[in-house]
Amino acid sequence: MGITSLRVKNYIFVKDLEIEFHPGLNIITGETGAGKSLIIGSLNLALGERVDWSLLPEKKVEIVLTLKPPEESKKILEELGIETDEELIIRRILEPAQKKSRSYINSVQVPAGFLKEFTSQLVELHGQHSHQILLDPRTHVDFIDDYGELMKLREEVKEIFLKAKTLQEQLHTLKKEADEVREKEEFLKYKLNELKKAELKKGEEQEIEERVRVLSNFEKLEASIKEVLDELYEGEETVYDKLSRSLHILEEGEKIDSRLKAEREVIASLLTEIEELWRSLLEYKKGLYYDPVELETLRNRLTFLNQLRAKYRKTIEELVDEIDVIKNTLNEIESFDERIEQKEKELKEAKKKLYEKASLLTEKRKKVKKSLENQITSELHTLGMEKARFEIIISKREIDEKGMDDVEFYISTNPGEPPKPLNKIVSGGELSRVMLAIKTVLSEVDKVPTLVFDEADAGIGGKIAEIVGKKMKKISRKRQLIVITHLPQIAIFGDRHFVVEKIMDKTTTITMKEVQGEERVREVARMLAGEKITNSSIKYAKELLKIGEGV
């Protein structure tokens, strides 16, 4: 597992470069200013780092990173529908003219944020920025949890913490809603009581308006019906009488010409219908009456309904429907106390579980604390900090998703000197060695396949540099390491050795190639003696490389 190749096109001075990395310790060297930082910069961009557009020329930049991922990473991609194979191809395309960036994993476009988060499980880069992370006490808890293999337990704490947080927010919202609704409760009860007393019915207004018209026009309506009755049946020369005579005439005519049968039947039917119409109108007329008390009552009811509509700015039909809505709302109000009580119970249980899990996490941290202190102190001694004493201070604080502990690294570099926070006293060289000591200890449990050290040799030299090189060699037996160094005492331990060069002709170009045999000897000799390589520096370089090969 690890990085197998990196291809870079048009990244600042890197025109077209392809590098094949290998398992174990990959060493990158080159003169100061040769462009080693551009190699790390392009690797960072491939891993999803933010783009500094001001550094880039107008040409399109393409960076392709090929890796062999662990099974866990494959599963993550497969769950997202991204097909995986033995190798994973990450491609980043930058278009400076439009300030556009596109990222791909196995030809599937992904957000740069996801790319950065995903690749953090595959490649871990240590440089000046990493030192800043080490100086931030908020990150120290991650080191102790990695070492103690406590991340699974910490995830359980996080899950319960987020659940408790959600319950707390839900409870707050529920109480707020309850307060808001209770403010309206009296009004709703009054409104419901008024609407129930009103005994509203859908269509009632139309019925009342029609009845009022009838009562208000009783005399006119009665006279009209009487006139129609007279015309149809009750007066002189009525329609019924005329049709009866016509029927008699057609009956006589039918005896002569049977073709008049249909016409005769039509008139007979009309006579029957007129008689039925007369009876219906007669019944209607008998039912007509004038009641001033009823008329007044109906007019009052209509006025009341109009007032009700105006008061609530709703139709009677809407007010009828609202009765059920108000009933449901009042029922909800009554259930608020029960719902709040249930939510408080759930929150209490979650907080109890959270405290239990966080307490267990604290207990386990305290158990591994001493072992981690001793191992890092021992590693610091082998790295030339013989008098150093490393301590981890665990103090209690309010629970969050990482538990209830503040964890901070302290160090004493001189005998009799009390330990102080790491960020108060260490120099750049000491900080590099502290980081290396921590990574050496964590290499047993660290699951990130590839570690990249950018100038981790800052502030050290001589015998200490050789020890640092051996430590890196040890780590590389379990993890792929890519190390940029200025020190030959470190470079000699590489399984593969790459040299970065800057070629300045009409344009500036950065190249990088693997060196072996005599080329590697000359590169180590250059690191020892500078530009002027002598026979003695060649001889010393060969001796050093033999030491490196023997480890």
Query: Which of 493, 401, 410 lies closest to 453 in space, CA to CA?
Result: 493
AA identity, residue 489: Q
The enclosing H or E element of 70 equals none
Contacts of 128 (CB under 8 A, 6+ apart): 454, 455
Residue ranges of the chain whose pLDDT lies below 50: none
* pLDDT at residue 127, as a whole number: 65
* pLDDT at residue 517, as a whole number: 92
How far is the C-alpha of 381 from the C-alpha of 378, rounded, in Å? Answer: 5
Q: pTM surpassing 0.85?
A: no
Query: Which of 411, 479, 468 lies closest to 140 in space, CA to CA?
Result: 411
The enclosing H or E element of 446 equals none
Q: What is the 3-state secondary structure (H, E, C) of 365-412?
A: HHHHHHHHHHHHHHHHHHCCCCCCEEEEEEEEEEEECCEEEEEEEEEE
How far is the C-alpha of 380 from the C-alpha of 228, rounded, in Å? Answer: 121
* pLDDT at residue 112, as a whole number: 86
Write down the mean pLDDT value for the chain: 87
* pLDDT at residue 129, as a whole number: 56
Query: Which of 217, 149, 492 lies closest to 483 in space, CA to CA?
Result: 492
Q: What is the pLDDT of residues 171-195, one digit of tens each?
A: 999 898 888 877 787 788 888 888 8
Q: What is the pLDDT of residues 447-500, one digit of tens each?
A: 788 988 886 666 677 788 888 888 889 888 888 999 999 899 999 999 999 999
Q: Give domain limits for the chain.
A: 1-122+448-516, 178-334
* pLDDT at residue 130, as a whole number: 59
Classify 1-122+448-516 by CATH class.
alpha beta
